[in-house]
Amino acid sequence: MKVLPFQIPKPENDALVLQEDIEFAFYNKLHQHEEIQISLIVKGEGTLIVGDTINNFKAGNILVLGSNLPHVFQSSENLKEKSHMITLFFTKDSFGNDFFDLQELNEINGFFKQAKHGFKIVADKSILKLFLEMKTASKLERFISLLQLLKKTVSLEYESLSSFIYEKKYSAVEGKRMQDVFEFTMNNYTKEISLNNVANIASMTKNAFCKYFKKRTNKSYFQFLNELRIENASKLIVSNTDFTLAEIAYKSGFNNISNFNRQFKSIKKMSPSTFKKIKNNS
């Protein structure tokens, strides 16, 4: 299976591609592609790594990923139902080099600026309707729906998905190395991970790996690891109210409750107990 770069399969001469995924797990390899991606999560939840940032996704989210923005989906384990995602792929030049520069389309220019770093919105009923109707729409109707969708997304509150973009495209070798590191981390973050462990996965010395990872993500490996652990802890706090915070810390890879509290507050800007109280009352 290709890792990076990733080619979106599409019929010849199709400028806009609609893809529907119904699986227990979405494609979980780090990848990037030229096409801008707009995805509606119909069913499912999990973790999404975009650029340098760890996010979550769940049903009702619209995820927008800009051109060549590295990302990987990790569906939650033990889901009882298949996950379901509907995605549109297109480039800014799909409909002609200057199409989106037309004065008549100034209203949606903000979409492309936001898409560069990726962003997430919560779908309202009108957006859900657009996506579902596009499944059976003609190519012309689908194109018109895309313009309506772009207009709607720039008018809604959004959450940026990444704060840093590595400007160079990953080579196949780089992509394989970063994918191996991400996959190892996402499969083992609940356990103790040493720098030796992850440097060996990357087939690099410890010093070389630290520089390599920092250059491509703008953060240290252990910053990334702690963010992944805290994101998991946040999901457990919301979905498993019977667990104590100490149990959640342990299940997320922290052996020290004081370190868990410190990392949680640093990343979420509030203590775990405050976060739990807010989520329980919302």
Residue 266 neighbours by CB under 8 Å, 6+ apart: none
Q: Is 221 in a helix, a strand, or coil? A: helix
Closest Cα to residue 118, out of 73, 60, 42, 67?
67
Residue 106 identity? N
Complete DSSP assignment for 52-112:
TEEEEEETTEEEEE-TT--EEEEEPTT-SS-EEEEEEEE-TTTT-TTGGGSGGGGGGHHHH
CA dist., res. 179 & res. 182, Å (int) = 5
126-136 confidence digits (pLDDT tens): 999 999 999 99
* Homologous superfamily in CATH for domain 17-160: Regulatory protein AraC (2.60.120.280)
Whole-prediction pTM: 0.81
Domain residue extents for the chain: 17-160, 189-281
Residue with tokens 């009702």: 60
* Homologous superfamily in CATH for domain 189-281: Homeodomain-like (1.10.10.60)
Please confirm whether the linkage preceding 5 is cis (ω < 30° from 0): yes
Q: What is the pLDDT along the chain (282 residues), one digit of tens a residue?
A: 233 444 545 555 789 999 999 998 888 888 888 999 999 999 999 999 998 789 999 999 999 999 989 899 989 877 889 999 999 999 999 999 999 999 999 999 999 999 999 999 999 999 999 999 999 999 999 999 999 999 999 999 999 998 776 666 777 788 889 989 999 999 999 999 999 999 999 999 999 999 999 998 889 999 999 999 999 999 899 887 688 999 999 999 999 999 999 999 999 999 999 999 888 776
